[in-house]
Amino acid sequence: MSTKTIRIGGASGYWGESAMATPQLLKAGGLDYIVYDYLAEITMSIMARAKAKDPDAGYAADFVSAVLTPNIGEIARQGVKIVSNAGGLNPSACGAAVRSLIRDKGLDLKVAVITGDDITGRKDALAAAGPREMFSGAGFPPADKIASINAYIGAAPIAKALGAGADIVIVGRCVDSAVTLGACMHEFAWAADDWDRLASGALAGHILECGPQATGGNFTDWREAGDIAEIGYPVAEITGDGSFVLTKPEGTGGVVNRGTVCEQLVYEIGDPQAYLLPDVICDFSMVAVSEEGPNRVRVSPAKGRPAPASYKTCLTYEDGFRAGLILSFTGFDAAAKAKRFAEAAFARARKTFRQFNAGDFTETSVEVIGANSQYGDAFPTNAMEVAVKVAARHPDAMGAGLLLKELSGLGLATPPGLSIFAGGRPKPSPVIRLFSYLTPKDDITVTIDLDGEILPHRDAPGAAFDAADIARPAPPQAPASGEPRIDVPLVRLAWGRSGDKGDKANIGVIARDQAYLPYLWAALTEDAVARRFAHFIESGADASRVRRYHLPGVGAINFLIDDVLGGGGVASLRNDPQGKAYAQILLTHSVPIPESMAKSLS
């Protein structure tokens, strides 16, 4: 059996992340690939607006200016291959900019540009066909409101481009992990139906795709991450069986341990036994994670099922406007003052609406940050200083802007203690909503342009999939009874990480010790989680909105909560529209454990 190992560095997890990763990884040396993930649904909507104004825009321009321009010489010298979805909504323009840079530097590097994911040009035909939203069943939005439509393509065309000799591969909207899986498929010659290895390579990509989130960023035990100003970016040492070691460059900040890797493993995966990708359906439930040395964590192979027959396709569209402002109040009854101020601003705006016979706000939001508004009724407070976020949505920009006018105009009539950071008044912005549906694979043709050589690509048709056919692991055994119990906060027993999937929140909870898992399972029921997030769930404390999954391999529980983010992304008026703090909220939950176990906690 081959002992070949490839080393891949994960240098970017979103558009706008610090450019420090590339020089850091190149300085450490020894890499075969550096991969970059820039795209999210919010990013796609921003790029769509940019491309509408300038046909040469619509991609992650800083991939060219901040990543490649200062580092391309060293990249070429070391022979490191680059794979990135920086192409966004304009991969061809991104590729042209990179090729121009290479010519200017006098280098001999081949660039492959992969297109075919962007089907915005079909919006009229799609509107006529009227596919339904895959989660809510909502109808297709009007064609004239659509900003972007992209099928999430996979890793196979990336592997094909690398096999044809590409040194730099630029993709549009591929799934986040595809930039890593494509490299693995090429290097290890994995077959298109080698499901377990494909799932394992996808897992490596999933761990790398958010950069330093696997090396101490957003870690529950954040103090262990040390100097985050100099945090190390992740490096995966991947072998042909799909197992890998996660590490980081020597001498950098951050930390790689079982907790950091497990937190990233459960991050935004939904059903851990049905993580659907274009190339494979992944099952991460039995993956094992173990520390084999300082800042070296081994991850076992995953399991895979045949690829699905369709591509997930995400459409963004405009749905009115939103506006808001964050202000602060100080002194006695600060939260009450903030709420009274917000009520007055809405009352004034609505009075003006009535005078002009205009429609009301379609949604409003008031969150008093510092008064435990993110915790609902769980933790009452008498905070002496708070920030109040007041926001609203309206069908037109003028209506949304009226709220901003009244928030500013109340400055002398307000309860005492108001402070506003000096700066210009914000402007209303479009509400961009996400609409997800499925596109049959036969409807998408992917094209690889390798410096003028055109290589067409079609994925295999895929297979039908029904999550009801999955054999689920047995739940943890019920805790033994008898010994008196003591309530401890969940954070003493577990790590947690949360994020979003459209209007769904994903919260992963990993037991610090497998012995704690039965107690976590008993305490964190669907009903308990629904009650904890009742103030955010659209239908209140509705346990049917919560799904709970067991990952025996790492001793984890994954929760998926529906209709809990106020629409999610830039459609939401929430202070936390992506559920990034939801794990922190859940980690305050009390868990009854035996007295002897409580005494053993450090």
pLDDT digits (tens, 9 = 90+) for 15-35: 888 899 999 999 999 999 999
* Of 454, 493, 448, 474, residue with least CA distance to 552: 474
Q: What is the pLDDT of residue 382?
A: 86
- For helices 21-28 and 69-78, the axis angle rounded to 10 degrees is 20
Residue 201, classed as helix, strand or coil, is helix
Query: What is the predicted pLDDT for the residue at 381?
Result: 83
**Is the pLDDT confidence value at 423 over 80?**
no
The number of beta carbons lying within 10 Å of the beta carbon of residue 229 is: 8
- The pLDDT, as a whole number, for residue 44 is 86
pLDDT of the residue at 581: 97
Is the pLDDT at 589 greater than 60? The verdict is yes
**45 pLDDT more than 90:** no
Residue 561 confidence (pLDDT)? 98
* Res 380: pLDDT: 80
- Per-residue pLDDT averaged across 552-571, rounded? 94
Q: Flag the least confident range among 300-304, 321-325, 381-385.
A: 381-385
CA distances from 308 to 116, 158, 159, 240, 277 (A): 18, 18, 19, 24, 8
The answer, yes or no, to whether residue 414 has pLDDT greater than 70, is yes
pLDDT of residue 425: 77
Region 406-410 average pLDDT: 93
Provide the pLDDT for residue 268. Answer: 96
Q: What is the pLDDT of residue 248?
A: 98
What is the pLDDT averaged over residues 407-421? 93
Query: How does pLDDT run across 370-390, given as a tens digit for each residue?
Result: 999 999 887 888 899 999 999
For 556-583, give one letter per residue: b (16+ CB within 10 A) or e.
Answer: bbbbbbbbbbbbbbbbbbbbbbbbeebb
Q: What is the pLDDT of residue 68?
A: 98
- Looking at the chain, how many residues does it have? 602
d(CA 303, CA 285): 9
- Over residues 197-205, the mean pLDDT reads 98
Cβ atoms of residues 448 and 161 within 8 Å? yes
- % of the chain surpassing 90 pLDDT: 90
Average pLDDT, the chain: 95
pLDDT value, residue 304: 98
Tell me the per-residue pLDDT of 64-105, one tens digit each, with 9 for 90 and over. 999 999 999 999 999 999 999 999 999 999 999 999 999 999
Q: Which two tokens stand for residue 470?
A: 């999955």
Q: Is the pTM of this model over 0.75?
A: yes
Tell me the pLDDT tens digit for each residue of 203-226: 999 999 999 999 999 999 999 999
- Residue 5 has what pLDDT? 98
95-153 pLDDT, tens digit each: 999 999 999 999 999 999 999 999 999 999 999 999 999 988 999 999 999 999 999 99
Average pLDDT of the segment spanning 286-303? 98
| Average pLDDT for 143-165 | 96
Q: What is the pLDDT of residue 40?
A: 84
pLDDT at 52: 86
Quick one: pLDDT at residue 422?
73
The alpha-helical segments, DSSP class H, found in 40-143 are: 41-53, 61-62, 69-78, 91-105, 123-129
> Which pLDDT value is given to residue 205?
98
pLDDT surpassing 80 at residue 2: no
pLDDT at 363 over 80: yes
**Residue 174, φ and ψ in degrees, nearest 5:** -100, 165
Determine the pLDDT at residue 145.
93
Q: Is the pLDDT of residue 511 over 80?
A: yes
Q: What is the CA radius of gyration of the chain?
A: 25
